[in-house]
Amino acid sequence: QGLRSGGCEVAIAGGVNVSIHPNKYLMLGQGKFASSKGKCESFGEGGDGYVPGEGVGAVLLKPLDKAIEDGDQIYGIIKATAVNHGGKTNGYTVPNPNAQASILSRAYKESGINPRTISYIEAHGTGTALGDPIEIAGLNKSFREYTKGNQFCVIGSVKSNIGHCESAAGIAGLTKVLL
């Protein structure tokens, strides 16, 4: 928002996640958050939990016209942003599909992109039997506002490759898409 309003000329966005205490793993195991197979199976049959990952990443953001003027290597263009909070749900690991559909619809409208033209979505996809289907339901609901088409958009999650980097999950997913 600072870039859009002119409050700043450049911004750095990123995330860091380091797991430094064994109690984290005890809590994940006792709370049945951890995958019983020791791997994330995002959107896969039999996924029953996640595997924590560690990571760090950052990107430099600047307005497109300024990046072109400066001769920068441009890896991606942010066409819209939207933020929400799922509100009350049935638990910490139970996302709200209506809130997810709403936030996606707001981003489509702001960007001017018809979702039918989207060929890939890098999703959250933690590999849980409850959360992943709810995420798909939110995506489907947002797409249905625009199209009745099926199987035109591939979905993925970097968590199947590197685990859930928690506070660095967003930058990990963005980096995957940019690469």
Domain positions in the chain are 2-178
Pairing of strands 154-156, 120-122: parallel
- pTM given for the model: 0.89
Give the Cα separation of 153 and 138 in Å (integer).
14
Closest CA to 136 of 22, 10, 47: 47
The separation between the first and the last C-alpha atoms of the chain, rounded to the nearest angstrom, is 25
Give 87 or 38, the one with higher predicted confidence. 38
Closest CA to 107 of 146, 75, 74: 146
Q: 32 pLDDT band (50/70/90 cuts)?
A: confident
Q: Is residue 12 packed enough to be buried (19+ CB in 10 Å), middle (13-18) or exposed (0-12)? A: exposed
Tens-place pLDDT, residues 79-97: 999 888 766 766 666 778 8
Q: 59 pLDDT band (50/70/90 cuts)?
A: very high
pLDDT of the residue at 79: 94
Give 33 or 17, the one with higher predicted confidence. 17
- The rounded Cα 16 to chain-centroid distance in angstroms is 15
* 3-class SS shares of the chain: helix, strand, coil, % to 5: 40, 15, 50
Q: 140 pLDDT band (50/70/90 cuts)?
A: very high
Query: Mean pLDDT over residues 22-30, rounded?
Result: 92
Structure token pair of residue 84 = 């929400």
106's enclosing H/E stretch is helix 97-111
User: Which DSSP state fits 128?
Assistant: -
In this structure, CATH architecture of domain 2-178: 3-Layer(aba) Sandwich (3.40)
Which residues make beta-bridge pairs with 13?
Answer: 59
Cite the DSSP H helix spans in 97-157: 97-111, 131-144
In angstroms, the Cα distances linking 32 to 70, 95, 117, 172 are: 50, 17, 38, 24
Q: 58 pLDDT band (50/70/90 cuts)?
A: very high
